[in-house]
Chains A and B, each alone.
Chain A
């Protein structure tokens, strides 16, 4: 009985013990899910098609695209004026404005004015707060 329960862990390989155990448990749980819900899983295709058909694709993918561009542009723009946080400031203003415009329903000039004001004020305020008051680095 002792030989079955006794385990020794070699220190040099100790980093693999727990991940292996968790991977095995995940595998077993995954198999149990497939075994008990195979009918539901078989219907995943139509379910996903339905979700895709109902979603607001321009808003969702537009948000993702704008966010990707925002993240990618921040560092190169910031490198022009290193350690000033201007990369964040310069990229955040159009990002806040464009995502706001994307989320807006009635895109009129009158509705856009508060958004323009907020897109200018909010990033500037946050930039000032973090760089000038908190002394934290921004890109």
Chain B
């Protein structure tokens, strides 16, 4: 109960306020939960770790949940994780069941969030206890496994792996850190840039660039689509929400939440994969799959419980292994770094109060999300009408503030933001996958230390295979993820060729 000391009125206000702002970010197409966390990260400086995490976790839960509003009312996913919500939510809204569809999504989001929270509470400490015994060899293999899983689940495996390794390569720019056991020598630094690149590119300006600035550049490139007017948003209709819609849907809800949680635990795999997997499973197991895509409530239940199931799951690898479960939790590493706390197997044991406060913040954020959205959905529906030409310039300014203040006032960090904002925008055009790139960038320096120190200690490459039974299992998992992905790619190719023949 030590954590009760950190549960202040400010903590509660920040978590609930974060959830509120997160819902607004999620509700506006083009703005995501990741962007919300990126923009608000600098605000956590002077808040302390628990209060800062309360705000960011609220933004995360609210941001993922808010995506259902435009998905249902406009047929445009507010966040990538609500793509499958549009399939059935929008047809329901078109036939005058918008409010019912929204409330089905909100209840499913709550259930998904709570189930994943239970999984987080029990699974993360167990995994951390197990991981404490890992040597550099197993830690290196875990990172390799994380990268292969991410690459395997990318739309193009080869490009996914390339993106991950590119992220690692960029992260190695600068000095080989003496604090971490390196020799302090510079590498990959172009002549004349030693002063700025001594410590390489800072993590947070890179993250804010690829998730904040790049998203706004993309919106500018597509002509900053006009916002919606009040006339476009009609949620009242003939059919009201009734909990009886969940009758016979509990298995679907539980299965989809579990799928979301499991996908969240896989490193670097985002909410869109969670909701797509949950949706396709719900459709396969349904006794009337032909109704999916035509306004079937079970489709919304699967999609929304799946993407909110991700929230707790994605925190499991972060808090037990130090590996982010998705892009948004990658940003949470930034919050820990700002407060000088390292996440990894020792985190929960060494910071029990922070761990309990995080669980409480997630619970509070889920409940606050439910109460706010369920009872004030008509008001939140109007959020989609906020003009982007007012919001986006302010977000751009917040990105600059975040980048500048991250290292207490270094202008090079602002230029880093611009460089990676442009890179993030171009990357999507040439097939580079941002999630593996970022996870590679975050884990690259640790992977280097673990790899080099393993060889320095054992002097033999076979140690990566012979160190322990865990190493062997990890190699089996790495091989399985690559083989499975190659098989899936071949199946997709064959199906494509078959369709072309037809």
Contacts and interface: CB of A to CB of B under 8 A. Distances in A.
Interface of A: 2, 5-9, 11-12, 14-19, 21-23, 25-26, 29-30, 32-33, 36, 48, 51, 55-56, 59-60, 62-64, 67-68, 70-71, 74-75, 88, 92, 95-97, 99-105, 114-115, 118-119, 122-123, 126, 130, 133-139
B51 to A, nearest CB: 13
A49 B392 CA distance: 27
Given A18-B452, A139-B404, A30 B409 contact: no
B220 interface: yes
Contact of B452 (A9, A103, A115): A9
Contacts of B388: 103
Interface stretch (B130-138, B159-167, B326-334): B159-167
Contacts of B175: 15
Contacts of A33: 158-159, 162
B418 A71 contact: yes
Interface in B107-155: none
B182 interface: yes
Contacts of B495: none
B392 A99 contact: yes
Contacts of B220: 56, 59-60, 62-63, 102-103
23 contacts: A5-B462, A6-B459, A8-B459, A9-B452, A9-B455, A14-B183, A14-B456, A15-B175, A16-B187, A18-B451, A29-B165, A59-B220, A60-B217, A71-B411, A74-B414, A88-B400, A96-B393, A96-B396, A96-B397, A130-B42, A134-B45, A139-B404, A139-B409
Contacts of A122: 394, 397
Given A22-B172, A64-B217, A100-B389, A7 B158 contact: no
A136 B460 CA distance: 49
Given A33-B159, A59-B223, A71-B414, A100 B165 contact: no
Contacts of B226: 105
Interface string B381-418: 00000011110111011101100110011010011001
Interface in B31-62: 42, 45-46
Given A104-B389, A114-B390, A12 B459 contact: no
Contacts of B162: 26, 29-30, 33
Interface residues of B, number: 63
Contacts of A103: 220, 224, 388-389, 392-393
Nearest to A125: B394
Interface in B299-324: none
A85 to B, nearest CB: 10
B72 to A, nearest CB: 25
Interface of B: 42, 45-46, 158-159, 161-162, 165-166, 168-169, 172, 175-176, 182-188, 213, 216-217, 220-224, 226, 387-390, 392-394, 396-398, 400-401, 404-405, 408-409, 411, 414-415, 418, 422, 429, 444, 447-448, 451-452, 455-456, 459-462
A121 B374 CA distance: 32
Nearest to A51: B429
Contacts of B42: 130
B187 A64 contact: no
A22 B168 contact: yes
B223 A56 contact: yes
Contacts of B161: 29
B169 A11 contact: no
Contact of A95 (B184, B188, B222, B393): B393
Given A60-B221, A63-B216, A126-B401, A7 B45 contact: no
A3 to B, nearest CB: 11
Contact of A67 (B172, B187, B221, B418): B418
A14 B176 contact: yes
A14 B398 CA distance: 39
Contact of B461 (A7, A62, A115): A7
Given A123-B397, A126-B401, A11 B411 contact: no
A50 to B, nearest CB: 11
Contacts of A7: 455, 459-461
A118 B405 contact: no
B460 A29 contact: no
Contacts of B390: 100, 114-115, 118
A11 B172 contact: no
Contacts of A30: 162
B501 to A, nearest CB: 19
